[in-house]
Structure 1
Amino acid sequence: MSDAHDESGAADGGLAPITVGLAELNPIADIEGKTTKNRSKVGSVRPSALLYTSGIGATVDLPHLSVMPHGLDAWQRYYDRRPGGADLVVEPRLLDLVRAYLGAQVTQLRKAPWAPEAPGGFGDEAIDLGIPARVFPQWLRCTGCNLLAPVSHPIFEFKNVLKYRPDQATFIHKDCKGWSPGSGRAKARKGREQAAVPARYLIACVNGHIDEFPYVAWVHRGRNCPNAKIPQLRMREWKSNLGPDVQISCLSCDARRGMLEATGPKAAEKLPHCRGRHAHLDAFYQCDQSGKLMMLGAANQWFASTVGLLALPREEVASVIDLLPVLQALPPEVIASATAKEALAGFRGWAGSLTQNEIFGNATDDVLWEAIETLKGAVIPAPAAAVSTDPSDILLPEWLVLTNEEKYTKHSGSADFRAVRRAVPESLMPLIPEVVAVEKLKKVNAFVGFTRIDALDRIDDSKNRVAPLTRDGRPTWVPATEDRGEGFFLRFDEPTVVAWENKILELDIWETYRRAHELNFKRRTSKTSDSTIDPDSRFPPPRYWAIHSLSHLLIREAAMSSGYGSASLTERIYAWRKDGDRPAAAGLLITTTASDSEGTLGGLVDLSRPERLGALVHDAIRRGGRCSSDPVCSHRRPRGKEDFLHGAACHFCLFVSETSCERTNRFLDRRLLLDLMVDPDVATPGLLLPILGD
């Protein structure tokens, strides 16, 4: 069911303007007909923000108003107006992963519309309309008189007339006379413009729905106002010992009610049930959950569900399924030039130069021609097999390429990947037999949905709790980004790691960590989740703890000499034991990426040179051997009901920013790396002992 009270709008992402239109402002029609002085663009966000902080279904706080990016159903008409349509991210492995989450009907990974370079950062308004969004929440409060009303109320007016200052877009109460009650001075006072800001309260539920707070029903306790069909409300606030005391009053009948009732112990009995509203889709769905009070901008209002991986070269022969996403990214005239299977040589060269993708060289003429005919016939075959979403399975292809010199050398001429083996410093040889400088890499990311109230890992990755991106829940494309950068890869000697790991597994301290993880897993899992996952299946092995700890030491040390801040460096840990046909892995990749098409500057790759890498590792080890919180830090272990997931680690020695760590500073322990002087009950052999020397 469509929400008849929703106003449509537009917003954009990628240093591109967010645009918004009200009921009386149709962005496309108004721009073409020049029927309004108000402009649609109201702000801009970066491409990565659309995936992680300000994406579909999130509330985007702008200087004077708040908007919510629409679902994918509303994006197409904005793509249609751009020359060449949508820009695609071509990465078959990521597309397969997205299909594992959303279904085989997904055929494209699209970049968000971006603003062309122009004065003020904006281009032609007739083309650059950005990403569609809506005003949300749609209840506004006048900052002058505290009047509370929906955005469609005639007292509010949208004002956005400066072409290059979309940040000044605002709603105003044009003739505000202040909040003082009474008929004397208030009526005689001359009115003036006052800004109207979003009202702060919302209703959400665990199924991802979000709705306006029912202010009229709340203040009248579920009944109608006796004196007015459309009553006027006022929101006032005082400070109190219990925090802000907000009161809603009706100016028509003098009914009053405080918002503290909505936050008290009996709030669940007083708040309405969820109406099943997905505001980003302008639609309602069936829902049996109770509504929960939500503050605008609350941290648990929106949790992104994204998938990402490194775009690495494929060593196997390409299939039709592999070729289709690449062919879809080509201009129509290129596809039309392929008229016969016997004359594909020219097509390969033209297509390869446009896509900068070596996949055409991995396909036979028969497979390539079949893919072209399939595309022309608009028939998309289903994937041959489901793709695993297990993190280790996702990382396995990267591990197989980075540990095989023949593979990464063969493909090092591509535009998105270049790697070269470096000599290993003699001081690292006993433990680290291989170093790879990754001079070029590309990381691709896709957005597959979002949750509210609980993050995805707190509900056991339940896909049914992820909010849909389209009304039918079956999108044919999803937003994606690509970042380019550099890094270096270290592989650890597997026999050495296995021998060390077997010793750790027999220690009491390891059992302590396992029990702490089990307790943490059960506590972190939401009460609204049906937990069926064995906590031990999510508990990483000792090698992960040790390699992860070394990665943090290297990030902190590299930040001092690479030219990049530590928050710009990220890690990818390849650390798992042999499991069936999946080979064991023990390695780490430190990278830095940027959304710029030229990538990064090479400072991280330079650290992989033998004359610098040895010093980098040993300096990191030396710093890791001391902590200003020792001996408290070096002796730390979970006890009793404690469930923290680290040992000898803290902000002074191992923790890094959350943009750098793939596990939010969990599963860390310096003792597993170094021979620290500690009590016997927490002492462990150090993985780095073979390279520490005397």
Structure 2
Amino acid sequence: MTPPPARRRRSGAEGSAPARSLPRRGAVRRAQAITTYGVGALIAVDHESFVVSGLDGADEHWNADEAPRVYERRLARVLDVEHFRLPPASDDSSKDGLRVRRFPLMHSCPECNELRRHRDFNPPPSKSVCGTCEADLVPSRFVIACEAGHLDEFPYWHWVHRAAGRGTSTAGSCGGTLTLRASGRSSSLRSIRVSCSCGSVPEVSMEGSFRRSALKDLGLRCRGTRPWLGTSVPADSCGLTPRTLQRGSSAVWQPVLKSALSIPPWSDGRADPLTPYWDQLRKLSSRAEVEMCLKFAFGGECPVPLDEVMELLAAEQEEDADSDKAPTFDHRYRALRNKEYERLRAGNDERERSRKEQFICETPLGDPAALDGLGVTGPMLVKKLREVRALKAFTRLTDPDSTTETDEAALSSARLNWLPAMEVRGEGVFLRLAENPLAAWEKLAAVTGRAERICRAHQHVMEQRASDPTRVQPSPATPRMVLLHTLAHVLINEWSLDAGYPAAALRERLYSDEEMAGLLIYTATSDSAGSLGGLVAQGEPERLAASIRSAIRRTSWCSADPLCVEAEASGIDGTNLAACHACVMLPETSCEHNNILLDRALLVGTPEDPHLGFFANILAH
């Protein structure tokens, strides 16, 4: 990982510009560049702090060997890009890495206690020490952010001078020097003291700076700064009221990740040479026009047979969302999931495919009668799968699932035809809920009542956090969705104990609407835990039946009961019911919905109503 080049450039031999030799600061894994330290995220390296730079110029400085292109046509079409790129590795042998910028710029010296911008300490080149005391500088613990994704320095001068009633436009005009010290009495904000040498205001503590209205009371509005894209302040301020955050808080950066499984006919890589020409090909209506376009594009013979090109075009049109109006992103992404569900049900036999095939899904050899009476049907063994996860954007202060697209912060100032992504391979088990028992269970008044409570709480949270509540999509919390989600969690917990996989190495993928009721549990990881074959073995009917029975019995009791099962609301803003970390919650990387929309009572019932649970018959035997 390297910071952006300095503004002054020295001349090399014979007056030519020298090759860039940028200082390195730490290292991150490729997966972290998508999920943890992506564009716009703050990263601490030793005693320094940086923000990961945007993608402007990445085409030039990302080495093609270290950041190769990744193709997944279905996901690229939904995200309106041409291709994806793996983030560059940032180990000792890498030629470049992720670019970063120093942020926050406000630092304090633990020796002289001065609080000022980093450059005002006159540190030596490539070092972060006080030019006077030679002590390591400490980046500001506090930053401010708004729900539009902007990020800025904490306004220390305004905070100290708030009692003097000075206007916001006179920041720093007193001529004094700010100091920051810790009283040492406690670790609370009250012990962090800020003062100004101008002598016109008393020393104040940081207590109260995290209140929602703290900066609004100072008359401050968000300036719209985007330090990951540059240091300049836009002419038009954002206007939202920013909030104070700890520099290391998870609320400072939340990735907006979108993913797709590679399924036929796109899963063997044959369509990759056609990537730059899809937009042109989709506009053509006849086979002859497609053939002529391909001959012109490739200057002769196309590397993909014409019959296969026509098959791929037909598959694209089939996956288009059915809508009279222009389909929204949510419609297109839902259509992507629908096609995956169809393919997982239909399977893809390995004996009929080439070695390059990246999706192998087969029916188990065991007797399906082992699952009779459990309410589960149609298990499929996904022996081979490939998933592409792309970083679409990021949010601040709000969870990505509760925001509209207008609240997402961009990864670059100029639109790019690609996005950073990671490519993972693994295996999994797909299963469905039996339609007749599910339809009867969904009509129970007690079931719909519990799901409606979760739905109302989730809808309220989304509307409260969105900048435009009228554009918020309806909550997905239906009875079958909550049931599928909770079942996926308890199976992951069960298989982490029985099959030896860590829970963090397993992931869920839910397929839920009026016509879908399935889930995929898979091991799409970038390490060796992804394809050892142990998870596929859990999908054989006899073993799957035993796993479901064991998981349901284990879930029927929580160490936090009776408080857990009798809870009127739990989780973030009441978006769970009977669910806690002692029973069904997972590592957040394993869950599609950040551990919300869960209720184990819909699986096993409650002491007052044991028949509420979809799997209550398992506990009765």
Question: Shorter-chain TM-score category?
Answer: 0.7 to 0.9
- Of residues 505, 530, 544, the one that matches 2:468 is 530
Match of 2:72 in 1: 91
Q: Is residue 145–residue 245 contact of structure 2 (8 Å, CA) maintained in 1?
A: yes
Identical-residue share of aligned pairs (%)? 29
Give distance in 2, aligned partners of 1:256 and 1:67: 32
The amino acid that maps onto 2:149 is: G
- Of residues 656, 668, 690, the one that matches 2:586 is 656
- Of residues 216, 224, 231, the one that matches 1:276 is 224
State the SS of the aligned residue for 2:510. strand
Match of 2:559 in 1: 628
Match of 1:67 in 2: 50
The amino acid that maps onto 1:297 is: G
Match of 1:173 in 2: 130
Give distance in 2, aligned partners of 1:326 and 1:27: 43
Q: Does 1:306 align with 2:237?
A: no
Q: Deviations over 1:347-378 (max 9, x none)?
A: 34xxxxxxxxxx9973259989xxxxxxxxxx
Match of 1:196 in 2: 137
Give distance in 2, aligned partners of 1:326 and 1:29: 42
- Of residues 375, 386, 394, the one that matches 1:450 is 394
Match of 2:317 in 1: none
Give distance in 1, aligned partners of 2:77 and 2:436: 34
CA shift at 1:469, angstroms? 2.1
Match of 2:607 in 1: 678
Q: Deviations over 1:235-267 (max 9, x none)?
A: 222256863343334457686552447456664
Match of 2:89 in 1: 114
Q: How does 1:277-296 map to 2 (within 5 A)?
A: 277-282=225-230, 283-285=232-234, 286=236, 287-296=238-247
Q: Does 1:129 align with 2:96?
A: yes
Q: Does 1:211 align with 2:139?
A: no
Q: Is residue 29–residue 89 contact of structure 2 (8 Å, CA) maintained in 1?
A: no
Q: Is residue 268–residue 357 contact of structure 2 (8 Å, CA) maintained in 1?
A: no
Aligned residue pair count:
579
CA shift at 1:87, angstroms? 1.1
Q: Are residues 140 and 557 of structure 1, via their aligned partners in 2, closer, same or farther at CA, if it must alter by over 3 Å?
A: same
The amino acid that maps onto 2:359 is: F
State the SS of the aligned residue for 1:517. helix
Structure 1 gap ranges (5+): 1-17, 100-105, 116-120, 160-169, 177-192, 329-334, 349-358, 369-383, 578-583
The amino acid that maps onto 2:346 is: N
CA shift at 1:308, angstroms? 1.3
Match of 1:510 in 2: 448
Q: Deviations over 1:567-606 (max 9, x none)?
A: 22111122321xxxxxx12222111122259943222112
Q: Does 1:440 align with 2:384?
A: yes
- Of residues 599, 603, 616, the one that matches 2:547 is 616
Match of 1:3 in 2: none
Q: How does 1:253-268 map to 2 (within 5 A)?
A: 257-258=203-204, 259-260=206-207, 262-263=209-210, 267-268=215-216
Give distance in 1, aligned partners of 2:426 and 2:369: 28
Give distance in 1, aligned partners of 2:174 and 2:268: 76
Give distance in 1, aligned partners of 2:224 and 2:458: 32
CA shift at 1:112, angstroms? 1.0
State the SS of the aligned residue for 1:208. coil
Q: Are residues 151 and 542 of structure 1, via their aligned partners in 2, closer, same or farther at CA, if it must alter by over 3 Å?
A: same
CA shift at 1:174, angstroms? 4.2
Give distance in 2, aligned partners of 1:407 and 1:273: 59
Q: Deviations over 1:10-31 (max 9, x none)?
A: xxxxxxxx1124636769989x
Q: Are residues 646 and 174 of structure 1, via their aligned partners in 2, closer, same or farther at CA, if it must alter by over 3 Å?
A: closer
CA shift at 1:158, angstroms? 4.0
Q: Is residue 97–residue 389 contact of structure 1 (8 Å, CA) maintained in 2?
A: no
CA shift at 1:386, angstroms? 4.3
The amino acid that maps onto 2:385 is: L
Match of 2:337 in 1: 395
The amino acid that maps onto 1:244 is: R
The amino acid that maps onto 1:107 is: E
Give distance in 1, aligned partners of 2:336 and 2:427: 20
Q: How does 1:145-544 map to 2 (within 5 A)?
A: 145-153=112-120, 155-159=122-126, 170-176=127-133, 193-215=134-156, 219=160, 221=166, 223=170, 232-239=177-184, 243-251=189-197, 257-258=203-204, 259-260=206-207, 262-263=209-210, 267-270=215-218, 272-282=220-230, 283-285=232-234, 286=236, 287-314=238-265, 323-324=274-275, 341=300, 343-344=301-302, 347-348=303-304, 362-364=308-310, 386=327, 388-390=329-331, 392-405=334-347, 410-411=352-353, 413-422=355-364, 423-430=366-373, 431-458=375-402, 461-472=403-414, 474-502=415-443, 504=444, 507-508=445-446, 510-523=448-461, 525-526=463-464, 529-532=467-470, 537-544=474-481
Which stretch of structure 1 is more off in the superposition, 196-205 or 621-630? 621-630
Q: Are residues 135 and 266 of structure 1, via their aligned partners in 2, closer, same or farther at CA, if it must alter by over 3 Å?
A: closer
Give distance in 2, aligned partners of 1:226 and 1:622: 68
The amino acid that maps onto 1:248 is: V
Q: Is residue 546–residue 673 contact of structure 1 (8 Å, CA) maintained in 2?
A: yes
Q: Are residues 448 and 293 of structure 1, via their aligned partners in 2, closer, same or farther at CA, if it must alter by over 3 Å?
A: same
Structure 2 gap ranges (5+): 280-293, 315-324
Match of 2:290 in 1: none
Q: Does 1:554 align with 2:498?
A: no
State the SS of the aligned residue for 1:659. helix
Match of 1:10 in 2: none
State the SS of the aligned residue for 1:157. coil
Give distance in 1, aligned partners of 2:481 and 2:311: 44
Which stretch of structure 1 is more off in the superposition, 262-271 or 51-60? 262-271
Give distance in 2, aligned partners of 1:623 and 1:61: 40
The amino acid that maps onto 1:237 is: A
Q: Deviations over 1:317-375 (max 9, x none)?
A: 999999325999xxxxxx9998654x44xx34xxxxxxxxxx9973259989xxxxxxx
Match of 1:569 in 2: 506
Match of 1:180 in 2: none
The amino acid that maps onto 1:538 is: S
State the SS of the aligned residue for 1:482. strand
Q: Is residue 447–residue 479 contact of structure 1 (8 Å, CA) maintained in 2?
A: yes
CA shift at 1:565, angstroms? 0.7
Give distance in 2, aligned partners of 1:559 and 1:316: 29
Q: How does 1:12-27 map to 2 (within 5 A)?
A: 18-21=1-4, 23=6
The amino acid that maps onto 1:514 is: E
Q: Is residue 466–residue 472 contact of structure 2 (8 Å, CA) maintained in 1?
A: no
The amino acid that maps onto 1:452 is: R
CA shift at 1:78, angstroms? 0.8
CA shift at 1:398, angstroms? 1.0
Q: Deviations over 1:82-133 (max 9, x none)?
A: 355851110011111212xxxxxx3221111224xxxxx4126xxx121221
Give distance in 1, aligned partners of 2:216 and 2:209: 8
State the SS of the aligned residue for 1:445. strand
TM-score, L = length of structure 2 = 0.81
Q: Are residues 500 and 409 of structure 1, via their aligned partners in 2, closer, same or farther at CA, if it must alter by over 3 Å?
A: farther
